[in-house]
Amino acid sequence: MPFAIKRIYDDTHPDDGQRVLVDRLWPRGVAKTAAHLALWLKEIAPTPDLRKWFGHDPKRWSGFCERYIAELRDNPEPVQQLLDLARHDTVTLLYAAKDPQHNHALALKHYLDSLPTQR
């Protein structure tokens, strides 16, 4: 499935396809009109408790991924929304975190990519 990830602070590009913000909180300094979003899917973000526990600590990355995937499995509706969008176009998952190697959008992309093709 055509999923990509990108920081919301990066420039938009025609190859982004459907741009979906997957953060629970709106990113600082980004005007809503400038974000060019197809969707703000707050419901797919990690729960506040999980986000606080992780604290963007790379040492907790593995545990975070396991717990976040469990949350995604318990909350299939927003996952299905992304799968439905991806049937028609590339979906770029947008996030605000500074670390490109340890953020929930990356974990989400890996999870989505692991699902059977729904086409």
Measured CA distances, 33 to 78, 80, 83 (Å) = 23, 26, 25
| Mean local confidence (pLDDT), 23-34 | 94
Mean pLDDT (whole number) for 67-93: 95
pLDDT at 119: 41
Its pTM stands at 0.93
Domains in the chain: how many in total? 1
pLDDT at 10: 95
Asked whether residue 26 is domain-assigned, the answer is yes
Residue 75 falls within a domain, yes or no?
yes
Residue 116 confidence (pLDDT): 80
- Asked whether residue 50 is domain-assigned, the answer is yes
d(CA 70, CA 48) in angstroms, rounded, equals 15
Residue 77 inside a domain? The answer is yes
The C-alpha atoms of residue 20 and residue 85 are separated, in whole angstroms, by 10
Residues 31-35 have a mean pLDDT of 91
Structural domain span for residue 45: 3-114
In a domain, 119, yes or no: no
Do residues 112 and 83 lie in contact, with contact meaning Cβ atoms separated by under 8 Å? yes
Residue 51 lies in a domain: yes
Residue 59 within any structural domain of the chain: yes
Res 56 pLDDT > 70: yes
